[in-house]
A and B are shown apart, each in its own frame.
Chain A
Amino acid sequence: MNSRGLPEIAIGLGVVALAAVVVVSTAQLARPPAYAQVGPAVMPYAVAAGLALLGSLLLVQGFRGGWRSAAGEESGPTAASARVLWLVGGLVANALLMPWLGFILTSTLLFGATARAFGSMRPARDIAIGFAFAFAAHTGFARLLGIDLGGGVIEGLL
C-alpha cells in the first residue's frame, strides 16, 4: 500500500465515522406521531447514508494513493512547528482565558501570538497594536452596535 494515501484514508474513515454517529444518535429519537408522514428521523438517516457512501468512495480513493490536487501541490513546505504552536496555543488560550481576563486582554494575547506565528519578531509592537485594536473593536462593537462582549479586567476599569 502506498503511504501517500494515508491522510486521505483518515479523512474517508472520519466521514464514515460521522455517518455512524448520526445513525446512533438518530436511533434514540422517540417514535414520530402518526400524523407526520415524514418523521424527524428520515432526513438524518438520508444524510447518514450519503455520508457513508461518500466516505467509502473517499476511502477507495485513499487506498489507490489518494488524490493530489492543484491545491495540494501548491501548498508548499510546512512551516516550522514552533510557528504552528504559537497559533494553536494562542487559540486555545483565547478560549480558556476569555471568561477570566475578558475580551480585551485575551484578544491582545491572541493578536500577539498570531503575529508571532506569521513570523513577526517584534512582540512589543504587536502587543501594543493588538491592545489598541482589541480596545477599539470592543468599544466600537459595544457602543455603536450594542454587542455585549462581556466583562473583564480592562472592561471593569472603563
Chain B
Amino acid sequence: METLTQLGQGFALALAPANLLWAFVGVFLGTAVGVLPGIGPALTIALLLPLTFSVDATSVFIMFAGIYYGAMYGGSTTSILLNTPGESATIVTALEGNQMAKRGRAAAALATAAIGSFVAGTIGTLGITFLAPAVVDLALRFGPAEYFALMVLAFVTVSAVLGNSVVRGLTALFLGLFLGLIGVDLQTGQARLTFGVPELLDGINVIVVAVGLFAVGETLYLAIHPRGLAGQVLRVQGSMWLTRADWKRSWRPWLRGTGIGFPIGALPAGGAEIPTFLSYYVERRLTRHPEEFGKGAIEGVAGPEAANNASAAGVLVPMLALGLPTSATAAIILSAFQSYGISPGPLLLQNQPDLVWALIASLYVGNVMLLVLNLPLIGLWVRVLSIPPPLLYGGILVFATIGTYGISRSPVDLVFLYAMGAVGYLMRRYDFPTAPVIIGMILGPLAEQEFRRAMTIAQGDLMVFLTRPLSATLLALALVALFAPAIVRRLRR
C-alpha cells in the first residue's frame, strides 16, 4: 500500500507540466538516437551529463529515463526498415522484421514492435515498482563484504558471460578498472596513475571515455570499413493497424517475451541480447506457422521486441535498488547520480523517495508517449533514417566535441577523447566489447571502497569474504560464471 501512495506522489511530480516536457524531450531524443545506427542511449546520456550542473535532478533523470526507454523503441524501426540493427539488442528483430518489410508488411512489423514494447515496458515498470522496494529491504542487510562480492559477480557476468570471449571481455573490464583508478585516492589523498599530468588529478571524466569509445570509435570504424553503411531504407507499406489475425498471433509472444526479458534484465547479469535471442528461439518452437519463420513471421518480431524492452526495465531494478549498473547506459545514469552528490545504493529510495518515485512514474508516462511517437508519427523516424551518412557522422563528431570541450574548455581533453576513440576503434575491429569499460570505470572505485571498508571492519582479514555466507555464495557464483562456459564447451566436444 505504501508503494502505491509513493507512486501516486511520483505521478504528481512526473505529471507537472515542466517534467512532462522533459519526459517528452527524452523520449523524442531517445527514439531518434535509437533509430540512428551507430549512436545509442549510453552515448546520448553521456553527452547530456553537463545538464547535471544546471538543471534540477528530478527533471534530468526523467529525461534520461525517457532516452533510455525511447532508444529501445527506435532501435526496432531501424532493424525492420534498414536491416542494420540500431542497437545490439534489436539484432533479432531484424531477422523477421526486415523480411516482413520486404514482403510489404513493414507497417504491421513496426506496429507489433511498438505495441509489444509498450506492453513489455509497462509490465516491466510495474515490476520495478514492486520489486525495487523488496530488493532494497534485502539489500539493507548487506555489509561491505556482501557488496563487494555482489560487484565482483556483476563484473564477471557483464564481461565474461556476455560477448564472444571471456578473455577479451575481462580485458575490456580491466581497462575500465584502470581508467577508474586514475586520480586522487579519496581515502589517503594520494595521486594515483596521474603521470604528473595535472588534468588527471580529478580523474578521467566518464563523458570523455564514453563519447570517445562510442562516438569517435564508431565513426572511425565506419570511415575505415565503409561496408557497414550500405543499406536501403524500405518503404512503410500497409496499415499501421494490426489485423485481428496479427493481434491474435502477437499477444502471447508479447507476454512471453516480457516474462523472459524482465527477470534476465533484473539479474546482475543484465544485457538485452540473451533474452531477445531466447524469446526468438521460444517463439520459433511454439509457433503454429513454422513455415513463416525466416520469411517474416510476426511472432519473431513481437516476442524479441517485448523481451528487449522488458529487460531494459529489469536493468533499472539493480540500478535503483542496489546502485549496481549492469549496462553501459545504466552506468552512465549512475554517474549522473554521483554528479548530484547523491550516492546510489539501497539508501537511495529512503533518502530520495521523491526523485526515485517521480522517475518510476515517468517511465509509465514515457511509455504512453512512445506508443504515440512510434505509431502515428512513424513517418518522421523514417525521415531521420534517411539522413546521409556524411552529414550524420559530421554532426556526431561536432556533438562529441561539445560534450568534451564544454566540460573543461581544455584541448587536453580533446586529445584524450581522440585517444579513447582510437582505442574504441581497435576494440570494435578486434571484437572487444566496450560496455565493460564503462561499467568497470564507474563501478570499480565503488568496489574498491567496499573492499577497503570490509577489510577495515575485519581488521585486514581477507577471510571475511569467505566466512560470511552470502558473500561466499556470491563469490562462488562469480567463479561458476567465469569458468562454466569454458567447461560446458569442453564437455560438448
Contacts and interface: CB of A to CB of B under 8 A. Distances in A.
Interface string A80-101: 0001100100111011101100
Given A95-B411, A118-B223, A37 B459 contact: yes
B188 A39 contact: yes
Which interface residue of A40, A103, A137, A145 has the most chain B CB atoms within 10 A?
Answer: A40
Interface string B431-468: 10000000000001000100110011001100000000
A78 B225 contact: yes
Contact of A98 (B216, B414, B456): B414
Which interface residue of A22, A75, A130, A149 has the most chain B CB atoms within 10 A?
Answer: A75
Interface string A52-76: 0011011001000001011110111
Contacts, number: 207
B397 A22 contact: no
Interface string A90-117: 1110111011000100110011101111
A96 B188 CA distance: 36
B393 A114 contact: yes
Contacts of A156: none
Contacts of A38: 451-452, 455-456, 460
Contact of A26 (B192, B406, B409, B456): B192
B228 A76 contact: yes
Contacts of A118: 222-223, 226, 229, 389-390, 393-394
Interface string B220-244: 1111111111000000000000000
A157 B34 CA distance: 37
Nearest to A76: B227
A117 B391 CA distance: 11
Interface stretch (B163-171, B277-285, B317-325, B480-488): B163-171
A45 B288 CA distance: 57
B406 A37 contact: no
A120 B164 CA distance: 35
Nearest to A57: B167
B398 A134 contact: yes
Contacts of B175: 18, 51
Contact of A87 (B51, B185, B219, B429): B219
20 contacts: A11-B430, A29-B190, A33-B188, A36-B187, A38-B452, A43-B448, A44-B193, A51-B171, A58-B171, A67-B431, A75-B225, A94-B397, A103-B405, A107-B401, A110-B398, A110-B401, A111-B398, A117-B390, A129-B394, A141-B406
**Ordered nearest first, which 8 A-B pairs have the shortest CB separation?**
A76-B227, A69-B431, A115-B390, A120-B390, A111-B394, A118-B390, A40-B185, A95-B414
